[in-house]
Structure 1
Amino acid sequence: MRDFPPLPQPADHEGQPRKVGVEIEFGGLNEAEAARLCANHLGGEATQTDSHIWKVNNTRIGTLEVYLDIFLRNATQSKLRDLALDLGREVVPVEIVSEPLERDGLQKLDGLREVLRKAGALGSGAGWTFGFGVHLNVQIASGCDADIVRPLLAYALIEDWMRNANPIDESRRILPFTDPYPTDFVRDLIALGPDAPVSEVRETYLHHNPTRNRGLDMLPIFAERAPERVEAVVSGKLSARPTFHFRLPDCLIDDEDWSLSDEWQRWLIVERVAQDAGVLARLGKAWEDDHGMITISRQSWARRCGEILHEAGLDKAGA
């Protein structure tokens, strides 16, 4: 079983372990098959609550939701809706959503990942329409500005390196679900700095990113703190919660060498960079030097960023 190293700030402001909710998208299995596998492996009872929605209650990691991941599942049940859902099954993933978990819960969920793989679950690389991902909903360390702004700045500075070091599958590149941050946003974020008020960072973010389709989606955090402001800019349903919504990772569930721990450790790098004020400052200065007034290529910065992280011993999360 793979390890899930602790976060640099493992506890929240009340001294409780920070938790992580996980969303796993995959193909190859339908909702009923996936729900029953969850119950068989983790205990509990699989219950169908709608034609394409299941819940697995009382598992060893709490309640799991299992459903076809499409907006139509929230529509009123009808024969037409169910037909549309069935027709979309070839391109729409089944999704398993966990409750917020501690590290031992992440390990148990990773064990389920292996069970799903052996049963025929398919990941991002199984077809050009399979733009499947893993989403990590990482609880913020506290409501303090720095505990929100610095991880965002760290991610923005190293995103190009992360995408270069672990390229996402081509099927996800052609879909808009995890677009990179615009260069002008990163430039403005650097200008605000790591000690900027969250309110200013929020306005900058909304100006450049009025969408959920980013590798790191900050809208859940901003919506919890200023719901009316976010609703005025972003259309569609938002789940307001104090978590970083890390959407970048692929789901490679059909690869026996892949683990949820691989994606967890990518997030660890973000938080470790955020905790190192010297590295954060160096990255910001080097980013401005590399980009100048215009950005010709993201590749040069990805290489330079990797060199800085390697020199600081932060290019691998480690144990």
Structure 2
Amino acid sequence: MIAPMPPSLPSFPHDRFWPLPQYGEKSATSRRVGLEIEFSGLTEAQTAKIVTGRFGGDIRTQSPYEVEIENTEIGKVKIELDSAYAKADRNAVLDAGLDLARSVIPTEIVTQPLSQGQLGLMQSLCADLAKHGAQGSRTNLLRGFGMHINPEIAGQDTESIVPVMRAYALMEDWLREADPIDPSRRMMPFVDPYPSRLIDALARYGDLPKDEVFRIYLDLADGRNHGLDVLPVIVETADASLADRVRRNRQVKGRPAWHYRLPDCRIDEPDWSIAAEWNRWVLVERAACMPELVEELAEAWLKRRKELTSIRLEWWRAADEVIRGYDLFRDKP
């Protein structure tokens, strides 16, 4: 039986948003972040009314399942039923099926890139939505609802990208153990941890140029269904051959932002917050700014992989021993 996370491990604050660390080409305070929030219990029209009640704006109904709101306090907001069928040609049978499936197909709010200072406004919106009946992933075992955080990358150079990929890969099991995934999401196809072979390569080859690391990622990461989906960054920043390789195999749009896919959205639970989830990501970036921490994690991972008796389920414990030696849980940048 695996013991629980040591009680001395600091928790992620729910009442404040940690600032991003300063590194790379861009000012940390100027970096923006997009949010995608999934839930059920409210239609797109009901959600739009709640959004405009808090932020104002002009509602533009695109279809029964897609609404855009322009000129809000936080810019353009898109609200849609998160199903490819919602974009198909309308017919009565399809619409009836979509309406019946609302209990397991989420309504999704997608923001334009926000300033970090606007994240607190989105937390207030989540409280409004919950008050009016929004439901999260734990209300039904078949509800695979999540939240995606899309932080703008600090730069397009190797030093801004590769350390973040390595830090996330080596810390992912520890992060997952610190906040275990809801059972409903474990059964879904979009919460797979990075394959061990990919972590091996990222641990071993951290000094390679970003395009070489991207090639390794494309060879060893099986699709987009991971906590940190790097494909949009590859399309945006890699050389043409790599970007074309991604486009040929998948419909991926390039964007200069990490696609951090959180495995559940507990919007209706009082102990859940965007702040805590955001702070988990900031912790990854803080670690990426500490080369000695990432290298110590890499060495510990590779050492364990050589031990025939070691199993990945216990890797988070070894990672925890390393992480405790560094000042990551702090409120200052």
- Which TM-score band applies after superposition, normalised by the shorter structure? over 0.9
1:185-222: CA deviations, max 9, x gaps? 110111211x3211111111111124110010001111
Cα distance change on mapping 1:260 and 1:317 into 2, 3 Å: farther
**Offset at 1:32?**
1.0
- Paired residues of 2:19 and 2:29 also in contact (CA < 8 A): no
Give the equivalent residue in structure 1 for 2:192: 179
1:136-163: CA deviations, max 9, x gaps? 0111001111211110100000000011
- Tell me the secondary structure at the aligned position of residue 56 of structure 1: strand
Give the equivalent residue in structure 1 for 2:112: 99
Cα distance change on mapping 1:69 and 1:10 into 2, 3 Å: farther
TM-score with structure 1 length normalisation?
Answer: 0.93
Identify which of 271, 277, 281 aligns with 2:295. Answer: 281
Q: Distance in 2 between matches of 1:130 and 1:158?
A: 26
CA RMSD of aligned residues (A): 1.9
Q: 1:144-155 maps to which residues of 2 (within 5 A)?
A: 144-155=157-168
Identify which of 151, 167, 173 aligns with 2:180. Answer: 167
Give the equivalent residue in structure 2 for 1:45: 58
- Paired residues of 1:35 and 1:46 also in contact (CA < 8 A): yes
Q: Distance in 1 between matches of 2:198 and 2:28?
A: 34
- Tell me the secondary structure at the aligned position of residue 193 of structure 2: coil
For 1:208, give the aligned amino acid: L
Q: Distance in 1 between matches of 2:156 and 2:130?
A: 38
Cα distance change on mapping 1:255 and 1:159 into 2, 3 Å: same
Aligned residues between the structures: 315
Residue 217 of structure 2 is aligned to residue 205 of structure 1:
yes
- Paired residues of 1:2 and 1:107 also in contact (CA < 8 A): no
TM-score with structure 2 length normalisation?
Answer: 0.89
- Tell me the secondary structure at the aligned position of residue 212 of structure 1: coil
- Paired residues of 1:164 and 1:299 also in contact (CA < 8 A): no
- Paired residues of 1:223 and 1:238 also in contact (CA < 8 A): yes
1:73-113: CA deviations, max 9, x gaps? 33233434433422321211000001101122111111101
- Paired residues of 1:11 and 1:18 also in contact (CA < 8 A): no
**Runs of 5+ in structure 2 lacking a partner?**
1-13
- Paired residues of 2:37 and 2:108 also in contact (CA < 8 A): yes
**Runs of 5+ in structure 1 lacking a partner?**
none
Give the equivalent residue in structure 1 for 2:123: 110
The runs of at least 4 consecutive aligned structure 1 residues that moved more than 4 Å come to 293-296
Give the equivalent residue in structure 1 for 2:45: 32
Q: Distance in 2 between matches of 1:125 and 1:53?
A: 25
Q: Distance in 2 between matches of 1:15 and 1:282?
A: 25
Give the equivalent residue in structure 2 for 1:246: 260
Q: Distance in 2 between matches of 1:278 and 1:10?
A: 16
Give the equivalent residue in structure 2 for 1:272: 286
Moved more, 62-71 or 302-311: 302-311
Q: 1:57-72 maps to which residues of 2 (within 5 A)?
A: 57-72=70-85
Give the equivalent residue in structure 1 for 2:26: 13
For 1:220, give the aligned amino acid: P
- Paired residues of 1:185 and 1:208 also in contact (CA < 8 A): yes
- Tell me the secondary structure at the aligned position of residue 311 of structure 1: coil
Residue 153 of structure 2 is aligned to residue 140 of structure 1:
yes
Q: Distance in 1 between matches of 2:260 and 2:79?
A: 20
- Tell me the secondary structure at the aligned position of residue 96 of structure 1: strand
1:9-58: CA deviations, max 9, x gaps? 27853787000000000111111111110010111122211110011111
Q: Distance in 2 between matches of 1:100 and 1:295?
A: 46
Residue 287 of structure 2 is aligned to residue 257 of structure 1:
no
Q: Relative contact order (alpha carbons < 8 A, sep ≥ 6): 1 or 2 greater?
A: 2
Q: Distance in 1 between matches of 2:319 and 2:129?
A: 36
1:124-180: CA deviations, max 9, x gaps? 111101111110011100111121111010000000001111111111111011210
Q: Distance in 2 between matches of 1:121 and 1:59?
A: 21
Q: Distance in 1 between matches of 2:165 and 2:75?
A: 29
Cα distance change on mapping 1:279 and 1:240 into 2, 3 Å: same
Q: Distance in 1 between matches of 2:227 and 2:128?
A: 27
Give the equivalent residue in structure 2 for 1:196: 208
